[in-house]
Every structure is written in C-alpha cells, then in structure tokens.
Amino acid sequence: MTAPRKLSRALVACLVATVAVSLAVSRSDRATTRADDTIQHEALFDEASADELEIYDTDREHWSFTPLARPAVPMPADLKDARGAIDCFIAERLAKRDLEPLPEADRVTLIRRLSFDLVGLPPTPDEVDAFVADDSPDAYERLVDRLLASPHYGQRWGQHWLDLARFAETDGFEHDKLRPEAWRYRDWVIDALNADLPYDRFVALQLAGDEVAPDDPQSAIATAFCLSGPDMPDINSQEERRQNLLTEMTATVGSVFMALQVGCAQCHDHKYDPVSQADFYRLRTIFEPAVQVEANKSVFVLHEDSAATKPGHLLVRGDWRRPGAEVKPAFPRILNVHGDQVPPPPEGAATTRRRTALANWLIEDDHPLTSRVMANRVWQHHFGAGLCRTTSDFGIAGEEPSHPELLDWLASDLVNRGWSLKRLHGRIVASAAYRRASRVNRTGLSDDDLAESQAHMAHLLEADPANRSLGRFPRQRLEGEAVRDAMLAAAGALNTRMGGPGIMPPLPKELLETVLADHWKVTPDPAEHDRRSIYVFARRNLRLPILEVFDRPDANASCPRRNRSTTAVQSLLMVNSDFSLTAARKLAGAVLAGSPNDANEQVRLVFRRALSREPEDDERMAAVAFLADQTQLLKDEGRDAGSLARPDPMPDASGESLDVHEAAALVDLCLAVLNSSEFLYVD
C-alpha cells in the first residue's frame, strides 16, 4: 500500500478542527469523525511511520482481528440436549466428532457448582435441601438469579478481575511501601460487578474515569487499574520510574482489554503480531500526560492537570535514555478498522482527553477484540478454560478458539444486551453444556447401565482428553481464596462484612521474621481475621501462605489464568497449619452443637457442612469407625484434656456422655474432610 505521505498544513488544520468539534458529541454521532482511508493515513503520519512495517490483508484475516459480526446460530440435525443457542454451537462440534455428551449432573452437584462458580462459597445445607426439593420448572433459573444478586458475587468475580489488574496494596520492590488508598479500587471493582455496571462503562472508567465522569470521585478511583502494578518510588531516576510505569501500564492495557501482547513491541516490532514498535509507543503516548510521579511517593490514580500536549517518542530498544522518532497518540493499526483517531483536546478542555478517546474506541460495538476477549474470560471462569485458551493472547501466537462462532456469538450477545456481564453469566450457566455431569454417578444405576455409562465416559476421555468439545463438565480445583473461604464457611466462622481497608490475619512467626516489622500488623479485632479472602491485605511481597500455596498470583504482572498446582507444601499447610486446625475445631464445635452424642449424626453433619451432601452408607460407617478408633488411640496414648485439640466451642462438660477423647477424634475427622479432594474440587 502506498499513499502520499505529505499533506498540506491547511488540510491537517482543517481535519484537526473537525475532529475537535466532533469529539464532544455522543458515541452514536462519532461516526462522523471517521475519515476516509487516505486522510486517515495522512493524519496518523508521524516521524515513526516513515519506515514502519505495513499492515497487509493477510494480517487482517487473523480470526481475532476481523470486525465482530453476529454469526447465525447453527441448527445441526442432532441437537443433542440443547437448551439454547450456546448448545447449538456445541452440539454441532460434538456431532462432527461423533461424540455423545454426558447427561445433566444431579441437583446437589449443580448447586455446589453454581455456588462456588458464582459466589465463591459452598451452599449451606439448607440451601441444598431447598434446591433438591424444589420441583418447580424454574428452580434452576431462580437459584442462578439469587446467586447473581448476592453481594458475594462481586467478591468472587472481583478477584478474577483483580488478578488481571495485578492488584496489590503495596509498591513491591525493596520497601514494598503501603498504598493506603488502594483498597478503594478493590471495593470499586466489587461494587461495579455487583451493580452489573455495563462492561463498556467498566472499561471506560478504569481508563479514563477522571475524564468521563469528572464530578464523581469514585470514577477517578477506577483508574487505579492502570497504576496497580509494581513500582519503585525510591528509584534514583524518577524519569526512569515514570517511563517504566508507562510501559508497564500500556502493556497491561493491551493484554487485559485486547488480549494483545503489545508489550512485546516495546523494544522492537512484535515478533509475531502486526504490531510495530511505533504502534506500541503511539498507544503509550495516550497515557503520557496522566502519569505523574513524585520521589518516594506511591502512585494511585491517573491524573491530568492540563490539556497541553507534548510530543511522544519511541524509545530505541525500549531504553528510556534513548528517545527516538516522534510519535502521535494513536490506536494499534491492525485493530483500527474504522480509522478512528485520537483527536486533540477540544477548546477549553481541562485534560487531553486522549484516554477518553481510547476508551470510546475500545468499546465500539464492533471492536474486534474488546467483547470477544471479555466473553472468553467469563467463559474461562465458568468452564476452567476459555474457548480460546490463551485468554490474554488473541494474537498470531495465541491459540485458535475451539468454537470460534460461539465465541463471536457470545461477544455479540454481550454487546447487544447492554454489555451486561450478569446476563452473560445467566446465558452461560443456563446452557446444557454447563449443567453436564463431570463423571459417571453410580448412584441408582443398574450394573448394565453403569457399565454402559462407564464405556461412554471412557470413550469421551479417550477421544477428547482435553475436553475441547465440552462433552462433559470439567472438574475444577478451588482457588486459594475459595479454599480459605469455604473452610471458614464450613466452620461457621466466615465474617461476611464487606468493604474497607484490607485486614491482616495472624501469620506464622517464622514468616513474620522475614518481613520488616511494620509490614504486617495483625488486625486487632479477631472477628476481622475471618473475613473473605478478597479483603485480606494484598501485600505484594508477602502472600498469605494458604493463598500462596494454592497459586494466588504474585501481582507482578497481569494474570489471565492461574496455575493449578498440587504440592507437598500445600498438604503440609492443610494438615498442620494453625488455620486448618482452628477451622477443624470450629467445624467440630458447630457439629457438636447440632448433635452432641450421636456419631452417625455427627458424620452426617460434617459431610453436609463441608461437602454439601449426605454421606453414603459406606462412608458413614467408615467415618464412624474412624471416630471410634481415633478415640481409642487417644485414650491409649494417655492424653489428658489439656493435650488435645478440642472442638470450639466445647459444649458444657455437664452433658453426661460427651467424652473429651471422642470430641478430639471428631476434630480429626473434620480436619480430614477439610483436607479431602472432594472438599477442594468441584465436579
């Protein structure tokens, strides 16, 4: 493509004026700012474009760079168990592979799955009973609605977003200094999700809340997203610091909102994707006026105090000491299907409004990436993997989606229904694909039926080991936060208070010795120690051990998908930590309060509280036998009351048959169940 590079100054001035006037108008009118291709190319011309790599049609053909369009819903001959459009897409692929999906999971499995997925907590025994007993046709839908309306929803899904935002409440590096206001951003995310703030607005506020809603201080807080990464306020060159922040922020914005690893282009043109180094610095230039640093002071939100613009520069090999060609603020060319521009600030503007322009561009209805990326992220958290499994890389080196049309359909649906995330969740969890069993449930099956089901399952596992066709629901391990919260919930200890500054539960003293004295001041009120994990103070250089061993990311870079590890150090923590023993003692205390004398009933209560189900007969008998054996073992060891871990609270000893060894054995049973795979995994 060759186009005249030079344009008369008058024409540029004219163009600039047009753009300036139209900037202030609403989204629907913004189409008028779109210039035709030639003019666009000229207006974008900057020093760096002279020998910049061009974008070719073959580049634009990559699946995620094509403008979003709503695909038709397929109608395969065999609709399998379809409940809606999602299932039609899935049935099509299953049919192509000649795979038969598993049937719907049982009710108990479904409520446990939905509860952990939507609110991050186990259902209470009463909730399980009510759902199992509810035979009205909309029982499932009402359960979903109730969970989505719960304030716990924002606490659950807020953590997914905070992982992406590499959120922490300290700077990291040597001094790991406190960011005293950072929790306000965490609360903003939770509140926004609970209020179902439309995703387009959610994006715009985090990039440009200060410009978009200047009268609402909450909106400025949203821009903390941009500055939530690590920072070194005491670095000897504040210019280096500012440049690092800008580069990190730009890379994160590209990765989170566009699933484009633009950060790879900071030193040289992107290795795989059609993103030039100039593209990166043009995007970065959008943020330049909003990042101000002061030595030894932490950053929190973006702030601009002038509409005056300065030229941006490309940095040679990414080195801040070597500014190169001048660049103008602009959107990555490969995605800029309409040739939108970053206009100069309108007359009398208080800020450059570059970030507003970026936000408006990102949330255009047919933006190739914004809605695809988010719909895929939401899918990932429901199913454990995205339709495109590289959720933060939709570029050439990323993976192609298993169901590209389904992804496009979901993305269009997100946009068409007002960018409502709750509606998207509703759609997804209503699908037959989501409700499928993850295994063969033996209960109630004849030997023949069981054999047939097992053969079916074996075939699914062999034909599609990675479950890309979604013939079954994938089993998922709880994240660290959900493990901790579920332990507190089962123990009846969870403090559900919302919001406010982060809390610091006690830490093992060996760990405290490794940090500076004022870095972890245990919150004085012990009731606060049992709040949900999202409210635990997020120190960048020190994660709560139970969260760390269960793969909480370190907040040094945006984390699109957590590791899911299984280690001995995890097991040691789960069997030996004070936290585990305390939870087991409280669970035992709650069980004893429900049934002081009946071992069978105690076992039943432990299962219901921790695993959301009744024990099977063989399990109940094994557990009762364990209680008896363990009681005997403790007696044989000659343990007196003071040397035993007892339930909390220990019921009044006046109860004639309550034996302290039996009570201690019950604590061990609780500890075992809290450690069990079934407690840690969701079917």
Partner 1 sequence: MNPWAEIDRVRSQSTKRCHLDRRRFLATAGGGIGMLALASLVADSAGAAEGSSRLANPYAVRPPHFAPRAKRVIWLFMHGGPSQVDLFDPKPQLAKLAGQPLPESFGMVMTRRQVAQNPLLGPVRPFRPRGKSGLPISDFLPYLADCADELCVIRSVHGDSVNHPQSVYQMNTGSILMGKPSMGSWVAYGLGSENQDMPAFVVLPDPGGGLKGGPPAWGCGILPVAYQGVTMRAGTTPILDLAPPSLISQGQQRATIDFLQKLNRRHLHDRDGDDELSARIAAYELAFRMQAAAPELVDTTRETPETLALYGVDQESTREFGQRCLLARRMIENGVRFVQLYSGDTNGWDAHNDVESNHGQLCQRTDKPIAGLLTDLKRRGLLDETLVVWGGEFGRMPMSESGKGRDHNPWGYTVWLAGGGVKGGLAYGATDDVGLRAAENKVHVRDLHATILHLLGLDYQALSVLHNGLEERLTGPDEAHVVDDILA
Q: What residues from 407 to 446 belong to the interface with partner 1 (CB under 8 A)? A: 438-442
By CB under 8 A, which span of 12-20, 25-33, 207-215, 507-515 interacts with partner 1?
A: 507-515
In the bound state with partner 1, the residue whose beta carbon lies nearer, of 205 and 283, is: 283
C-beta separation of 409 from 69 below 8 A: no
Stretch 352-391 residues interacting with partner 1 (CB under 8 A): 390
Q: Is 571 in the site for partner 1 (CB under 8 A)?
A: yes
Rounded least distance, CB 671 to partner 1, Å: 6
Task: Report CA-CA distances (Å) from 589 to 397, 495, 582, 667.
Answer: 54, 17, 10, 8
503 beta partners: 536
Which of 396, 498, 624, 658 is in the footprint of partner 1 by CB under 8 A? 396
Stretch 316-355 residues interacting with partner 1 (CB under 8 A): none
By CB under 8 A, which span of 22-30, 101-109, 141-149, 673-681 interacts with partner 1?
A: 673-681
Read off the tokens for 134.
Answer: 């509810």
Read off the tokens for 90.
Answer: 């899935």
C-beta separation of 180 from 170 below 8 A: no
Q: Is 397 in the site for partner 1 (CB under 8 A)?
A: yes
Stretch 163-192 residues interacting with partner 1 (CB under 8 A): 172-174, 176
> How far apart, in whole angstroms, are the C-alpha atoms of residue 187 and residue 158?
9
Rounded least distance, CB 63 to partner 1, Å: 8
Rounded least distance, CB 365 to partner 1, Å: 26
Question: Among the residues of 259-353, which ranges form H helices?
Answer: 277-287
Strands (E), 411-555: 476-477
Which of 78, 141, 400, 452 is in the footprint of partner 1 by CB under 8 A? 400
Rounded least distance, CB 437 to partner 1, Å: 11
Q: Whole-angstrom distance between the N-terminal and C-terminal Cα of the chain?
A: 54
Which of 32, 296, 306, 576 is in the footprint of partner 1 by CB under 8 A? 576
C-beta separation of 313 from 325 below 8 A: yes
Which of 286, 432, 666, 669 is in the footprint of partner 1 by CB under 8 A? 669
Rounded least distance, CB 424 to partner 1, Å: 24
In the bound state with partner 1, the residue whose beta carbon lies nearer, of 151 and 233, is: 233
Percent helix, strand and coil across the chain, each rounded to 5? 55, 5, 45
By CB under 8 A, which span of 3-11, 267-275, 294-302, 341-349 interacts with partner 1?
A: 267-275
In the bound state with partner 1, the residue whose beta carbon lies nearer, of 129 and 548, is: 548
Residues, the chain, total? 683
Which of 109, 228, 255, 298 is in the footprint of partner 1 by CB under 8 A? 255
> How far apart, in whole angstroms, are the C-alpha atoms of residue 217 and residue 184?
11
Total Cβ atoms within 10 A of residue 139: 17
Strands 323-327 and 312-315, bridge-based pairing: antiparallel
Rounded least distance, CB 286 to partner 1, Å: 22
By CB under 8 A, which span of 405-413, 485-493, 597-605, 665-673 interacts with partner 1?
A: 665-673
Burial 230-266 (b: 16+ CB within 10 A, else e): bbbbebeebeebbbbbbbbbbbbbbbbbbbbbbbbbb
> How far apart, in whole angstroms, are the C-alpha atoms of residue 202 and residue 257?
11
Long-range contacts of 68-72 (CB under 8 A, 24+ apart): 68/365, 68/366, 68/367, 68/368, 68/371, 68/372, 68/408, 68/411, 68/412, 68/415, 69/366, 69/408, 69/412, 70/408, 70/409, 70/412, 70/413, 70/416, 71/405, 71/408, 71/409, 71/412
Rounded least distance, CB 256 to partner 1, Å: 12
> How far apart, in whole angstroms, are the C-alpha atoms of residue 290 and residue 351?
9
Q: Is 452 in the site for partner 1 (CB under 8 A)?
A: no
> How far apart, in whole angstroms, are the C-alpha atoms of residue 69 and residue 404?
12
Instruction: Give the 3-state secondary structure of residue 495.
Output: strand
In the bound state with partner 1, the residue whose beta carbon lies nearer, of 15 and 460, is: 460
In the bound state with partner 1, the residue whose beta carbon lies nearer, of 38 and 566, is: 566
436 beta partners: 104
Rounded least distance, CB 79 to partner 1, Å: 27
Stretch 204-243 residues interacting with partner 1 (CB under 8 A): 230, 232, 235-236
C-beta separation of 252 from 166 below 8 A: yes
Which of 418, 514, 598, 628 is in the footprint of partner 1 by CB under 8 A? 514
By CB under 8 A, which span of 27-35, 116-124, 259-267, 379-387 interacts with partner 1?
A: 259-267
In the bound state with partner 1, the residue whose beta carbon lies nearer, of 38 and 567, is: 567
Read off the tokens for 324.
Answer: 């190169």
Rounded least distance, CB 87 to partner 1, Å: 24
Stretch 140-159 residues interacting with partner 1 (CB under 8 A): none
Which of 392, 453, 467, 469 is in the footprint of partner 1 by CB under 8 A? 392
By CB under 8 A, which span of 154-162, 278-286, 354-362, 664-672 interacts with partner 1?
A: 664-672
Stretch 15-74 residues interacting with partner 1 (CB under 8 A): 51, 53, 56, 58-59, 61-63
In the bound state with partner 1, the residue whose beta carbon lies nearer, of 196 and 248, is: 248
By CB under 8 A, which span of 355-363, 412-420, 422-430, 561-569 interacts with partner 1?
A: 561-569
Total chain residues near partner 1 (CB under 8 A): 105
Rounded least distance, CB 321 to partner 1, Å: 9
Stretch 611-650 residues interacting with partner 1 (CB under 8 A): 619, 622-623, 626, 629-630, 633-634, 637, 639, 643-645
C-beta separation of 627 from 615 below 8 A: no
**DSSP 8-state secondary structure symbol assigned to residue 642:** G
CA angle 100, 564, 382 (to 5 degrees): 50
Total Cβ atoms within 10 A of residue 549: 21
By CB under 8 A, which span of 95-103, 119-127, 373-381, 504-512 interacts with partner 1?
A: 504-512
In the bound state with partner 1, the residue whose beta carbon lies nearer, of 365 and 619, is: 619
Which of 177, 372, 377, 477 is in the footprint of partner 1 by CB under 8 A? 477
Which of 475, 496, 498, 528 is in the footprint of partner 1 by CB under 8 A? 475
Which of 98, 448, 510, 617 is in the footprint of partner 1 by CB under 8 A? 510
Contacts of 104 (CB under 8 A, 6+ apart): 81, 110, 432, 435, 436, 437
Give me the phi and psi of 412, to 5 degrees please. -65, -40
Read off the tokens for 455.
Answer: 């053969």
* Four-residue CA torsion sign, 18, 20, 24, 30: positive
Rounded least distance, CB 575 to partner 1, Å: 7
